[in-house]
Structure 1
Amino acid sequence: MGVPELSRYRGRTVGVRNCLLPTNRQHILSPLRLNKPTYDRMPVANNGLPKADDLKGSWAFLEEGVDHIMNRLDEGLSPAKYVNMYTVVYNFCTHNKLSQSMSLHESSSGQRGAHLMGAELHKRLSEYLIKHLAGICNESKQYSDETLLKFYTKQWAKYTFAASFLNNIFKYLNRHWVKRERDEGRNQVHDIYTLALVSWKLHLFNHTQENLISAVLKFVEKQRNGESIETTLIKSVVESYVSLGLDENDATKNNLDVYRDSFEAPFLERTKEYYQAEAEKFISENSVVDYMRKVEARLNEEESRVVMYLHPSTRKGLMQASESVLIAAKAELLQEEFQPLLDSDKRDDLSRMYNLLNRVKGGLDPLRIRLETHVRRAGLDSVEKVASGQEVLDPQTYVFALLDVHTHYNDLVAKCFRNDPDFVKSLDNACKEFVNRNKASESRGSKSSPQLLAQYCDSLLKKGAKVVEENDLEKHLQGVMTVFKYIEDKDVFQTFYQKLLAKRLVKFLSASDDAEAGMLLKLKEACGVEYTNKLQRMFTDMTLSKETMDAFRTQMQQTHDASELSTDFSALTLGNGYWPFTKASSGGNFNIPPEVIKDLERFQSYYDNKHSGRKLTWLWQMCSAEVKVNFTKVKTGYLWTVSTWQMAILLMFNKATSYTYEEIAGTTAIEKDQLDGSLSIFLKARVLTCNTESGGPGSTYELNQDYKSKRIRMNFNQAIKSEQKQETEEAHKTVEEDRNLLMQSAIVRIMKSRKTLKHQELITETISQISSRFKPTIQDIKKMIDVLIEKDYLERAGKETYSYVA
């Protein structure tokens, strides 16, 4: 709202505009009785006003008005009185009657006179304020505690409102004389409102401060004890502390020195004392969990206390003071309770403990260590439970055991510890331990987890799998990637996954091409393009192979009669460098049955003509056939899926119903392991019978013409234990070879860029480069360095130093 502003006109007539009271104070005073909102050039006569050069008369007139404003402003102030007071101040500060001792030069300017008279007026007002405050100070001595607070806040509100009113009346003094004094470096001179505050601080506040802070602290303690208090009293006192923090050099600025020294410091000290006593008493009578609830409630109270009546800057110090006593001093006691809460999965209490200990430095460190130990132990126990007594561990059971532990504690970290990065790291460290080093790994080799994970993934993606519902496939594949993240030997997973993927593709067992592509994309995102390069090429080969086979069939239909194409022949042509297949040991000696040899020769001829310079190698162990069985008494017959070896054996029985072991072996030239395995499957299914209990050399095998089965379609193409063992051994061998090459290539890359390097630095950089695939041992890296030295890639350049040989 506007404040009075005066202007000087000719004839010494003074006008006033917008004469309104300021209304920026809390308490309400009686309004001035103004008939009109504005006064434009209202002439003011000097009748009744003191002369401009009459210091005594001018101050007497002003003092009466100042006293009315300071003590009886609630009764109202007439506009005429307000204007007259302003006019007296103006006239007094601007008249040009100078003392006889002043020089002519000083007199012509008129400035020195105004300077002298302004100083006198400022001095008289300052003396009045001192006297006025002395009376208030004496009166305050009869009050204490709550009555003192009420008296102080009432007087403060009344005084500051009156001071702002005086500041407007003496505005000309502020604008000219005070400003000039401060510009000349006299910072002890203040505008009228600031003068009033300085006077309050020196002549009232400093004398009542001790009793005042005592009353405030008692009031706060009452509230902490659960009593209802009038918080506006404390708020008003706090505002006065803040307002009294005046900047001596710049009256427009304010600091918090008075508030911090006179209020905040004793308030924080009393807070510590109060909560220290309360904490000791409460913890001796209640449980740690109850204590945490109490502390949580107390801290919330202190937060709200800042909002209710404290300055915002106190929040940090208040919370630190409370936390140091309630949490930091009891941190060890709280930390000891963490394990029981973790064992019983008390999530609300765990969350509360995290929130409390997170407030103090180092409070969470023991919790993170204990969480890591607890999760690792839980994971190991879970694996031991499913692995105990199991000769062959089911991949699904194993992976589910790992995921159950991870899911449980991942959810706990998210909800109780707000996904704190340090707690997430502790969880990850624990999961790495129990995923890579558990009882299953100890009993089945160090590469058990990646191998079992690859097998579980195969069971998800294989056609006809009953592991999961189709709609849940994506969720379970995401679970695979969760475990995959913690596996250290990712190259082992890659090898087994590649072998199992190859079987799914070759035998057309993939349940969904989209699921296969999705899994490939997940692996690429996790490990990069290089990791999935061979896997991607396998899918490309399948597409090219289909195109080749379609072209072959088209040509055969054009050049041969249908009677010549008696079998439905199909072949896959795959790149040797991308598929994890090796030539069977009996592949070179295997006698191809005459029933299919013509088809093989036709395809061989077609492929040789189409691709000169390429060589086809037949992988009989990967081939399969469907045979129509008509030897039984069942009229419809049976349709069996068999391996190449089984097909060769069954086709022999088209000519006779009984053969010795030696005759079968001689005719087919199948290696003993494959032959024994194939015959044992037929014996178990009672397709063949044997004259000896164990079969093998010296036995005779006869076709069981009384064979019966409810299933028309049967699959006898089952993996043989000896083949499975051989595949696993070959996979591990491949992994070792690939690791050696990977370490050698990493060492060469490092040395080629660095030229010369210390032994320890080379070890460290090599581990850093290949740790994403597997964790090499220092001994293995040393061996590869020696191999590269023998191959003349490196040479020793001194003690523990190597140099690159270009």
Structure 2
Amino acid sequence: MSANTRGAPQMPPAPNKEDAVATWNYLEAGIDRVMLHLEHGIDMHTYMGVYTAVHDFCTSQKAVGLGMSSGASIGSGNHRGAHLLGEELYRKLSDYLTKHLHQVLQEARTHSNEALLAFYIKEWNRYTNAAKYIHHLFRYLNRHWVKREMDEGKRNIYDVYTLHLVQWREELFKNISDKVMDAVLMLVEKQRNGETIDHSQIKQVVESYVSLGLDESDPTRSTLDIYRYHFENPFLAATAKYYENESKQFFTENSVVEYMKKAETRLDEEKDRVDMFLHPDILHALQKTCEKVLISDHATLLRDEFQVLLENDREQDMARMYGLLQRIPEGLEPLRQRFETHVRKAGLNAIEKVASENPEKLEPKIYVDALLEVHTQYSGLVTRAFREEAEFTRSLDNACKEFVNRNEICKSGSNKSPELLAKYTDVLLRKSSTGIEEAELEGTLARIMIVFKYIEDKDVFQKFYSRMLARRLVHSNSSSDDAETSMISKLKEACGFEYTNKLQRMFQDMQISKDLNNSYREHCDSLESNKAILDSQYSILGTGFWPLQAPNTNFSPPGEINEEIERFTRFYKNKHEGRKLTWLWQLCKGELKAGYCKSSKMPYTFQVSMYQMAILLLFNEKDVHSYDDIAAATLLSQEVLDQALAILVKAKILLVSPEGKPESGSELRLNFDFKSKKIRVNLNLGGAKESKQEEVETNKTIEEDRKLLIQSAIVRIMKARKQMKHMQLVSETINQIKARFVPKVPDIKKCIEILLDKEYLERLEDDDLGYLA
């Protein structure tokens, strides 16, 4: 309150508190002072005078000129009189506000557009500020008459401040709200068109609409009903209409990519608009409205552009499209389908290209790199453009599964992908893979596991990998034990303990063999008269864990070797009673010193297989041997003997007469003029032919193992379920096995027939199968 009353009309003198008419006149002058001249302030004397007059009016014992007989006594101590006077004062205040607002309404009708908006805001601020003062001045009425009426559940009775708002709403707002809203929408449209506006005006209009939301059933509560009906709904309708027109026009003059940029900008602007001058409650509805008009209504056009963006690697534009379409229901599903189709085609084309460039023999590295290149490209796209969304990741995985397992290379055999992946892993983990750092190797193994994840026939990879691991371990040809262990850990993490159990046991056998060799050396050292004449190493491999087969030929080892072998056999059997040793001669190798060559000052060292060693040691006795003599001495089959001799003849260690291929009737003699640039000469070169044969054997064992795996799964299921429908059993079997490989339905049916024949299962009625314990 201010003591400065300059410019405001003078208040009449304080009335006789018994004179109700004079008291109201005094109150009306005070209300006028507050309502019309509050900017000039109100002094304490006037404030207290009005406050007292309200009290006196409500407690007057006589009601002169208020519709009662003059001088009529209302009765001392009876609250009924005070109640009537409170009601009369409330009615007179309400009538005053109605009259005042009618005058404001008349003036409002002389304004339009922004002038009306400015007038409305000015009057609203003046009126609500005055209402706060009048509410305080009429506190006695609020505390007594109004409170009692509200407690009794009377309708349409409000505290004095709320009465001001109700009257504003009924007498003024309902008559001009449409025009005020038109002015607001005109101002917003100007801003959308790039003009600068005073957005504080709109903010104040919003606040006034919110303030007018009174709950009719409970005046003490407020709602947003008035705001939503008179502001939010028209605002949303106008927004939709504006962007419908703009987007149609924009599409006729611009590309889809430019439209997406425009839509992004518009969506951001609307969000900023809420922060600047709109009520937070409108945000969700406004976003939905804009998303429908700017995105949903043009979703087909946007999606049709997606393929063009994909083909041209327009990553930023795809990210923009993702950001827009993910706002609407089912907006991204068509994109995911097109993305999956595109990635699948890209993968198939990449493999078709490498297959055509390498028609004779495809290197495993080239094949795996082609698969990884496609995956890397599109997984990067999923990360950067599609925000690593789970559904896009699933589409990528589905596409990769398709082109990894069903591509041009796989047409020659469905096992090719896991086989080539295993071979590439073998190349990496062998000592021959020079020039690769340990950290780089670890990274490459991690990338291999990406392809492994998509392979359906994981059992094929396991078979080839275990055979190759066995060769690396037996021949001490691993580049790093740490790398081998790391790879097995990765496989274990991907497929579980059972998948890698045998691989880990192979490592354990090699460690046990090292300890055994140390014990054997100590044993030999203790036998001074019988010291080992050979520097030998032995690997003891558990039959059930190593994918190795017994030799496919008879063999008589040379005497020098045989003596050492017998010594080790006695030592081993003494240490492990009851165990049987089966010698895998095809995996044994050694070195021979050759001091007979005339051309070399230093003796050559020949690195040979055990079969080659047996052949060459025969030439210590004489320089020429017939083919048949060698066969009789070594007991080797013709196929194995021919293979061993072919390498020795090709390297010109032995000379054959007559010239040509060694065969029955040929003679072989030692070549004393043998020359080589290397002192150490590797003659153990039977790997290519062995690996081809091994490949055939591996594929054969895969099919056999699959039949056993299917049968064991069927028995396991039936043992648990006792009785099942035929097709249910087929379906359940597929579910249990698909982590290892995808079984074919005819194969499952064959296995069911086998188990029926073996009486593990029985046929029941209605296509049911039962389990026989």
Matches within 5 A, 1:482-497: 482-497=450-465
Once residues 371 and 79 of structure 2 are traced to their aligned partners in structure 1, the CA distance between those partners, rounded to angstroms, is 92
Report the counterpart of residue 39 of structure 1 in structure 2: none
Report the counterpart of residue 43 of structure 1 in structure 2: none
Report the counterpart of residue 558 of structure 1 in structure 2: 526
Pick the aligned partner of 1:80 from 42, 45, 51. Answer: 45
Report the counterpart of residue 87 of structure 2 in structure 1: 119
For residue 663 of structure 1, report the CA deviation from its aligned partner: 2.9
Report the counterpart of residue 596 of structure 2 in structure 1: 631
Once residues 117 and 653 of structure 1 are traced to their aligned partners in structure 2, the CA distance between those partners, rounded to angstroms, is 140
Report the counterpart of residue 517 of structure 1 in structure 2: 485
Once residues 463 and 481 of structure 1 are traced to their aligned partners in structure 2, the CA distance between those partners, rounded to angstroms, is 21
Once residues 499 and 296 of structure 2 are traced to their aligned partners in structure 1, the CA distance between those partners, rounded to angstroms, is 49
Once residues 59 and 652 of structure 2 are traced to their aligned partners in structure 1, the CA distance between those partners, rounded to angstroms, is 131
Once residues 712 and 96 of structure 1 are traced to their aligned partners in structure 2, the CA distance between those partners, rounded to angstroms, is 135
Once residues 84 and 683 of structure 1 are traced to their aligned partners in structure 2, the CA distance between those partners, rounded to angstroms, is 132
Residue 216 (1) aligns with residue 184 (2): yes
Report the counterpart of residue 608 of structure 1 in structure 2: 573
Once residues 110 and 746 of structure 1 are traced to their aligned partners in structure 2, the CA distance between those partners, rounded to angstroms, is 96
Mapped contact 1:217–1:270 kept (Cα < 8 A): yes
Residue 417 (1) aligns with residue 386 (2): yes
What amino acid does structure 1 have at the position aligned with 2:390?
A: P
Pick the aligned partner of 1:766 from 733, 737, 755. Answer: 733
Report the counterpart of residue 682 of structure 1 in structure 2: 648
Mapped contact 2:325–2:332 kept (Cα < 8 A): yes
Once residues 3 and 753 of structure 2 are traced to their aligned partners in structure 1, the CA distance between those partners, rounded to angstroms, is 103
Pick the aligned partner of 2:399 from 414, 430, 453. Answer: 430
Report the counterpart of residue 685 of structure 2 in structure 1: 718
Report the counterpart of residue 634 of structure 2 in structure 1: 668
What amino acid does structure 2 have at the position aligned with 1:183?
A: D
Mapped contact 1:524–1:532 kept (Cα < 8 A): yes
Report the counterpart of residue 617 of structure 2 in structure 1: 651
- Between stretches 778-787 and 423-432, larger displacement belongs to 778-787
Mapped contact 2:150–2:157 kept (Cα < 8 A): yes
Mapped contact 1:626–1:642 kept (Cα < 8 A): yes
What amino acid does structure 1 have at the position aligned with 2:369?
A: F
Q: SS at 1:742's partner residue?
A: helix
For residue 484 of structure 1, report the CA deviation from its aligned partner: 0.6
Mapped contact 1:541–1:574 kept (Cα < 8 A): yes
Once residues 409 and 51 of structure 1 are traced to their aligned partners in structure 2, the CA distance between those partners, rounded to angstroms, is 92
Pick the aligned partner of 1:449 from 403, 412, 417. Answer: 417
Evaluate the alpha carbon distance shift between residue 134 and residue 568 of structure 1 in structure 2; reply closer, same or farther with a 3 A threshold. Answer: same
- What CA deviation, in whole Å up to 9, does each residue of 1:138-187 have, x standing for no partner? 11112111111111111111111111121122222222322221111113
Mapped contact 1:62–1:85 kept (Cα < 8 A): yes
Once residues 221 and 363 of structure 1 are traced to their aligned partners in structure 2, the CA distance between those partners, rounded to angstroms, is 29
Once residues 108 and 48 of structure 2 are traced to their aligned partners in structure 1, the CA distance between those partners, rounded to angstroms, is 34
Once residues 627 and 109 of structure 1 are traced to their aligned partners in structure 2, the CA distance between those partners, rounded to angstroms, is 135
For residue 226 of structure 1, report the CA deviation from its aligned partner: 1.0
Residue 797 (1) aligns with residue 764 (2): yes
Report the counterpart of residue 573 of structure 1 in structure 2: 540
Mapped contact 1:33–1:79 kept (Cα < 8 A): no
Once residues 594 and 712 of structure 1 are traced to their aligned partners in structure 2, the CA distance between those partners, rounded to angstroms, is 26
For residue 307 of structure 1, report the CA deviation from its aligned partner: 1.1
Mapped contact 2:491–2:500 kept (Cα < 8 A): yes
Once residues 610 and 594 of structure 2 are traced to their aligned partners in structure 1, the CA distance between those partners, rounded to angstroms, is 16
| Equivalences, count | 757
Report the counterpart of residue 54 of structure 2 in structure 1: 89
Evaluate the alpha carbon distance shift between residue 87 and residue 688 of structure 1 in structure 2; reply closer, same or farther with a 3 A threshold. Answer: farther
Matches within 5 A, 1:240-255: 240-255=208-223
| TM superposition score normalised by structure 2 | 0.94
Matches within 5 A, 1:20-419: 31=2, 48-95=13-60, 110-388=78-356, 389-419=358-388
Once residues 307 and 700 of structure 1 are traced to their aligned partners in structure 2, the CA distance between those partners, rounded to angstroms, is 100
For residue 592 of structure 1, report the CA deviation from its aligned partner: 0.5
Once residues 134 and 478 of structure 2 are traced to their aligned partners in structure 1, the CA distance between those partners, rounded to angstroms, is 93
Report the counterpart of residue 786 of structure 1 in structure 2: 753
What amino acid does structure 1 have at the position aligned with 2:513?
A: S
- What CA deviation, in whole Å up to 9, does each residue of 1:444-503 have, x standing for no partner? x11011111111111222223137332211110100111110000111111111111111
For residue 221 of structure 1, report the CA deviation from its aligned partner: 1.0
Mapped contact 2:18–2:60 kept (Cα < 8 A): yes
What amino acid does structure 1 have at the position aligned with 2:179?
A: N
Evaluate the alpha carbon distance shift between residue 602 and residue 107 of structure 1 in structure 2; reply closer, same or farther with a 3 A threshold. Answer: farther
Pick the aligned partner of 1:742 from 709, 721, 728. Answer: 709
Once residues 75 and 716 of structure 2 are traced to their aligned partners in structure 1, the CA distance between those partners, rounded to angstroms, is 94
Once residues 283 and 458 of structure 1 are traced to their aligned partners in structure 2, the CA distance between those partners, rounded to angstroms, is 57
Once residues 401 and 635 of structure 2 are traced to their aligned partners in structure 1, the CA distance between those partners, rounded to angstroms, is 48
Evaluate the alpha carbon distance shift between residue 123 and residue 593 of structure 1 in structure 2; reply closer, same or farther with a 3 A threshold. Answer: same
Q: SS at 2:132's partner residue?
A: helix
Once residues 188 and 377 of structure 2 are traced to their aligned partners in structure 1, the CA distance between those partners, rounded to angstroms, is 45
Q: SS at 2:204's partner residue?
A: helix
Q: SS at 1:645's partner residue?
A: helix
For residue 734 of structure 1, report the CA deviation from its aligned partner: 1.9
Mapped contact 2:166–2:212 kept (Cα < 8 A): yes
Mapped contact 1:460–1:467 kept (Cα < 8 A): no
For residue 93 of structure 1, report the CA deviation from its aligned partner: 2.7
Once residues 121 and 698 of structure 1 are traced to their aligned partners in structure 2, the CA distance between those partners, rounded to angstroms, is 140
What amino acid does structure 2 have at the position aligned with 1:655?
A: E
Q: SS at 1:337's partner residue?
A: helix
For residue 362 of structure 1, report the CA deviation from its aligned partner: 2.0
Report the counterpart of residue 617 of structure 1 in structure 2: 582
Mapped contact 1:624–1:643 kept (Cα < 8 A): yes
Report the counterpart of residue 37 of structure 1 in structure 2: none
- Between stretches 118-127 and 659-668, larger displacement belongs to 659-668
For residue 98 of structure 1, report the CA deviation from its aligned partner: 8.7
Kindly report the root-mean-square deviation, in angstroms, between the aligned alpha carbons of the 2 structures. 2.0
- What CA deviation, in whole Å up to 9, does each residue of 1:215-268 have, x standing for no partner? 111111111111111111111111111111111122332211111111221221
For residue 126 of structure 1, report the CA deviation from its aligned partner: 0.9
Evaluate the alpha carbon distance shift between residue 143 and residue 165 of structure 1 in structure 2; reply closer, same or farther with a 3 A threshold. Answer: same
| Residue segments in structure 1 that go unaligned for 5+ positions in a row | 1-20, 22-30, 35-46
What amino acid does structure 1 have at the position aligned with 2:653?
A: V
Once residues 663 and 214 of structure 2 are traced to their aligned partners in structure 1, the CA distance between those partners, rounded to angstroms, is 108
Once residues 536 and 378 of structure 2 are traced to their aligned partners in structure 1, the CA distance between those partners, rounded to angstroms, is 54
- What CA deviation, in whole Å up to 9, does each residue of 1:681-717 have, x standing for no partner? 2333333333424444444333332222222223322
For residue 48 of structure 1, report the CA deviation from its aligned partner: 4.8
For residue 610 of structure 1, report the CA deviation from its aligned partner: 1.7
Matches within 5 A, 1:455-604: 455-466=423-434, 468-561=436-529, 564-586=531-553, 589-604=554-569
Mapped contact 2:20–2:63 kept (Cα < 8 A): no
Mapped contact 1:166–1:192 kept (Cα < 8 A): yes
For residue 322 of structure 1, report the CA deviation from its aligned partner: 1.5
What amino acid does structure 1 have at the position aligned with 2:591?
A: E
Q: SS at 2:770's partner residue?
A: strand
Evaluate the alpha carbon distance shift between residue 254 and residue 701 of structure 1 in structure 2; reply closer, same or farther with a 3 A threshold. Answer: farther
Evaluate the alpha carbon distance shift between residue 124 and residue 490 of structure 1 in structure 2; reply closer, same or farther with a 3 A threshold. Answer: same
What amino acid does structure 2 have at the position aligned with 1:606?
A: F
For residue 107 of structure 1, report the CA deviation from its aligned partner: 5.7
For residue 730 of structure 1, report the CA deviation from its aligned partner: 1.8
Report sequence identity in percent: 50
Q: SS at 2:769's partner residue?
A: strand
- Between stretches 156-165 and 86-95, larger displacement belongs to 86-95
